[in-house]
Amino acid sequence: MKENDGKNGNLVPSEERRIRNPYFKGLIPLDPITIVCGTADMKIMIPRFCAVITTLVICHLTASPSLGEEVAAKEASAGDASPAEIKSDNKRGVLTLNAGAGNYDERNHFAYWNWDFEAQRPGAYEVRLVYTSVRQKKMGIQFRLDGANILKAYVYRSAKPDASDEFVLGRAQISTKGKHHISLLTADKSQAPPFSIKALKLVPIQESEEKLGQGLDGAIELHARDAVTHSEKMQYEIKPEKDCLGYWIHPEDWAEWDFHVSMPGKFKVSLVHGCGDQSGGSEVALLTSGDQVLKFTVKETGGFQKWETLELGTVELGEEGAHKVVIQPLTKPGKAVMDIRKVVLTPVK
C-alpha cells in the first residue's frame, strides 16, 4: 500500500510515512514501532529523529487455567506481592488411551474397542472421544467402564476432514486404584475412513456435581469433595473420618475449585488442613482471580487428620460471575504436602 506524500504527487510506502514540521523544511520521516498488547499487536509511527523513546508496556494477565496451558502469576506472601512465576500443568492426571493400545474387533455392522489400563488413583473423570469423521450420518457410541457406567451418545462429522475432534461422552467414576477395563461399541466400522477413532481421554473433573457459590452470609466454602484433582496420586478420600484431599506426595499435583460469586468484595481466606510428622515445611501457593497469590508454609499439626485452620490473607473478588481457586505446592521437603478438608472465603465487612 502506498500513500501520497503531499509533494509533487509522489507516492511513498505506508511504512515510510512522513510528517511536516514547522521548524524544518520538507518532510520528517517516520519509523514504525510495534506495541505488543496481550494477543494483539498495535503499530504506531514515531519521528526518526526523536532523541528519547519512551517504552510503553501494556499488560493483560489472566489467572484462569485452560487445557494445555500453564498458569503464570505473581506471588504474594500474606498479601504482599513479589514477582515470581507459578506453573500448573493442566494435562496433569489426564489418562490417554490411544487407538494403537486398544484391541479392535470389527463385525458386519458394528465394532468393538477394548482397553485395559491401570489407574494410579480413584477419581471423577470426563470421558472424551478423539476421532475424525467424514460421514454424512451421525455415529452411535456406547461406553462402558468395568462392564458398567454406561454412556451413550451420537458423534457427528468432524469440523475439518483432516483434523481430529474431541467429543464429550459424559462422566465416569474410577472407584479404586489398580487395573480397569474400558469397552467402546460403535454402530459401524471405526478404525479407518470415513470414521476413525484416535483415542479416548479421561480428564479430571470436579469430584462432586454440586454447583459452588456463596451462602446467605456471603461466605464461600470450597470442600475437598468439590475439587478438581489435577494429579497422579493426590485424591479425594471419601471416608467420613477423612473427607479430604490426601496422598499429596507429588508437588506437581494440584487442586482447583470453580465457583460463582454473586456478592463481590474482599474476602479473608482460611485453610482447614492437617499435616503429619516429618511432613511440615512445604511451600504452597493459593491462586485466585486477578493474579492474586497467597503463599504460605505448611506446619505440622500432629497428624494428617488433625485439623487446624490457617489464615492465609485477603483477596478481592471484584466482579460477579465465575471464579477459581487453585492450590499449587511449590516445594515438598517431607513425606507429603498436607491433607486439605476445605478452603473458606469469608467476606471482609
Residue 55 burial class via C-beta count within 10 angstroms: exposed 0-12, middle 13-18, buried 19 and up: exposed
List the one residue out of 319, 345, 326, 310 whose CA is nearest residue 257: 326
From 175, 204, 233, give the residue that closes a domain: 204
244 and 161 fall within a common domain? no
125 and 151 fall within a common domain? yes
pLDDT in tens, the chain (349 residues): 433 444 434 333 333 333 333 333 343 344 554 444 444 444 444 444 333 333 333 233 333 343 333 333 434 434 443 334 688 899 999 999 999 999 999 988 899 999 999 999 999 999 999 999 998 889 999 999 999 878 999 999 988 877 899 999 999 999 999 999 999 999 999 999 999 999 999 999 999 999 999 999 999 999 999 999 999 999 999 999 999 999 999 999 999 999 999 999 999 999 999 999 999 999 999 999 989 999 999 999 999 999 999 999 999 999 999 999 999 999 999 999 999 999 999 999 8
From 172, 204, 236, give the residue that closes a domain: 204
Q: Cell digits for 282?
A: 512445604
99 and 196 fall within a common domain? yes
24 and 108 fall within a common domain? no
Per-residue model confidence (pLDDT) at position 85: 66
In a domain? residue 285: yes
pTM, two decimals, is 0.75
In a domain? residue 123: yes
In a domain? residue 179: yes
CATH of the domain at 312: 2.60.120.260
In a domain? residue 86: no
List the one residue out of 52, 70, 59, 36 whose CA is nearest residue 254: 70
182 and 263 fall within a common domain? no
199 and 249 fall within a common domain? no
Residues near 247 by Cβ (< 8 Å), separated by ≥ 6?
Answer: 121, 233, 234, 235, 237, 336
116 and 22 fall within a common domain? no
In a domain? residue 212: no
157 and 250 fall within a common domain? no
20 and 110 fall within a common domain? no
Which range marks the domain in which residue 322 is found? 220-347
Per-residue model confidence (pLDDT) at position 161: 77
196 and 247 fall within a common domain? no
Residues near 77 by Cβ (< 8 Å), separated by ≥ 6?
Answer: 294, 295, 296
From 204, 228, 245, give the residue that closes a domain: 204
184 and 229 fall within a common domain? no
**Domains: count for the chain:** 3
317 and 227 fall within a common domain? yes
Per-residue model confidence (pLDDT) at position 108: 86
